A and B are shown apart, each in its own frame.
Chain A
Amino acid sequence: EPEVTQTPSHQVTQMGQEVILRCVPISNHLYFYWYRQILGQKVEFLVSFYNNEISEKSEIFDDQFSVERPDGSNFTLKIRSTKLEDSAMYFCASSERVAGNNEQFFGPGTRLTVL
């Protein structure tokens, strides 16, 4: 069964450093998403992406964040200058279509620890 994959599974970085989280969505999916979950808190939407541009972003997704689909398979989330409060699980998701009753498939997540 096709699945969303994410690398690395765990990333440790120093405050102020840049990190890139990588995702490989399911191959025939067209819509891509990033969510995050701070330990003990709710899963929060960050951004959605379609046709090589951002469709929607949350208030969390400020100028320190960016997304890119550099080739036909990868979807990346870059955090430019990490802060302690960026420590969280980051989940990538993809779906076939956005309209109607689509389901989103989530990856296993990347645990980001900012020291």
Chain B
Amino acid sequence: DAKTTQPTSMDCAEGRAANLPCNHSTISGNEYVYWYRQIHSQGPQYIIHGLKNNETNEMASLIITEDRKSSTLILPHATLRDTAVYYCIVRVSRGAQKLVFGQGTRLTINP
């Protein structure tokens, strides 16, 4: 699976959009970009995934650059409950089963 690079930490004001970047310059054509988050010591929680098109669900939006070498997770109206560690994971679309977690970005939402 391709390696990802994320900032160690970020801050965002409550009610504002939180934009979390991820670099995955070695991504290959059959690899998806997944985002998970971990609130405190809870189990990781799936947020969203995409291949090359931008995606949106009830939790977030995922913007993938045209060359697929980077992506941005957007939480449109961050709340205090969005404070968590956010993981960007690149994995193949079939065959590989495991998720490989990096250090992620520790996002702090400030009141």
Do A and B truly interact? yes
User: A interface vs B, CB < 8 Å?
Assistant: 4, 31, 33, 35, 37, 42-45, 48, 50, 55-56, 58, 89, 91, 93, 98-101, 103-109, 111
Known A93-B43, A106-B44; contact A48-B97, beta-carbon cutoff 8 A = yes
- Contact assessment for B43 and A106 in the assembled complex, using a CB-CB cutoff below 8 Å: yes
| Stretch binding the partner chain, chosen from B3-11, B18-26, B66-74, B99-107 | B99-107
The answer to whether B101 touches A43, judged by C-beta atoms less than 8 angstroms apart, is yes
B95 contacts A99, CB within 8 Å? Answer: yes
Chain A residues whose CB sits within 8 angstroms of the CB of B95 once the complex forms:
99
Chain A: CB-nearest residue to B98: A45
> B interface vs A, CB < 8 Å?
32, 34, 38, 41-46, 49, 51, 87, 93-95, 97-103
Say whether A43 contacts B97, CB under 8 Å.
Answer: no
B41 touches A109 (CB 8 A): yes
Closest B residue to A44 by CB, please name it.
Answer: B101
Q: How far is the CB of A87 from chain B (nearest CB, A)?
A: 13
Interface of A: prevailing SS: strand
What residues on B are CB-neighbors of A106 within 8 Å?
43-45
- A28 to B46 CA separation, bound complex (whole angstroms): 18
**A69 CB, nearest partner CB in chain B, Å:** 16
Measured between C-beta atoms, what is the minimum distance from A21 to chain B in Å? 13
* Chain B, residue nearest A92 (CB): B43
B49 pairs with A103, CB closer than 8 A:
yes
B94: chain A residues at CB < 8 Å are 98-100
7 A-B pairs with C-beta separation under 8 A: A33-B98, A43-B87, A43-B99, A58-B98, A101-B32, A108-B42, A109-B43
Beyond A101-B93, A103-B46, A104-B46, is A89–B41 a contact (Cβ under 8 Å)? yes
Which residues from A are CB-within-8-Å of B32?
101
Distance in Å: Cβ of B4 to nearest Cβ of chain A: 12
In contact, A42 and B93 (Cβ under 8 angstroms): no
Looking across the interface, which residue of chain A has its beta carbon closest to that of B87? A43
Q: How far is B42's CA from A70's CA once the two chains are assembled, in angstroms? A: 26
Specify which chain B residues have a CB less than 8 angstroms from the CB of A42 in the assembled complex.
101-103
Q: A99-B93, A99-B95 are in contact. Are A109 and B101 (CB under 8 A)?
A: no
